[in-house]
């Protein structure tokens, strides 16, 4: 009998990209699978020992036990290693202008 379930994804190893200043982003922490009841894995292990800055591992690249089929999109990113600048821009909202303090008060004084 085949069942659908969710199993966690565990990252294994050290990404070389992280040693060169990159940031490892674990995007997908669990995955929906379909498999025989007797074949349900405890977790899906993902080896990141080859992950350099700019690299990513997608669902389609997961090494699955025999009989296990992933129900998620094959193009979904499981883990990636990004440059710190890209990480900072994503967190701070790239393109947002900084607030200018004091200009308005000076403009109002010059109008008087």
**Does the reported pTM lie above 0.75?**
no
List the CATH number of the domain containing 19. Answer: 2.170.120.20
Say how far apart CA 21 and CA 7 lie, in whole Å.
Answer: 30
Instruction: Tell me the residue range of the domain where 56 lies.
Output: 2-111
* 34-43: pLDDT as tens digits: 999 999 999 9
* 55-93: pLDDT as tens digits: 999 999 999 999 999 999 999 999 999 998 755 555 555
Question: Domain count of the chain?
Answer: 1
CA distances, 72 to each of 17, 22, 43, 76 (Å) = 26, 27, 15, 7
Say how far apart CA 33 and CA 70 lie, in whole Å.
Answer: 4
């Amino acid at each position: 009998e085949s069942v659908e379930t969710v199993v966690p994804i565990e990252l294994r190893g050290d990404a070389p990209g992280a040693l060169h200043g990159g940031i490892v982003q674990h995007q997908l922490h669990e995955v929906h699978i379909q498999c025989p009841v007797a074949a349900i894995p405890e977790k899906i292990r993902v080896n990141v020992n080859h992950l350099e800055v700019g690299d990513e591992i997608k669902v389609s690249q997961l090494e699955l036990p025999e009989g296990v089929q992933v129900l998620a999109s094959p193009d979904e990113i499981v883990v990636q290693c990004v440059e710190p600048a890209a990480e900072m821009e994503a967190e701070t909202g790239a393109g947002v202008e900084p607030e200018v303090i004091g200009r308005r008060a000076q403009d109002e004084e010059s109008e008087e």
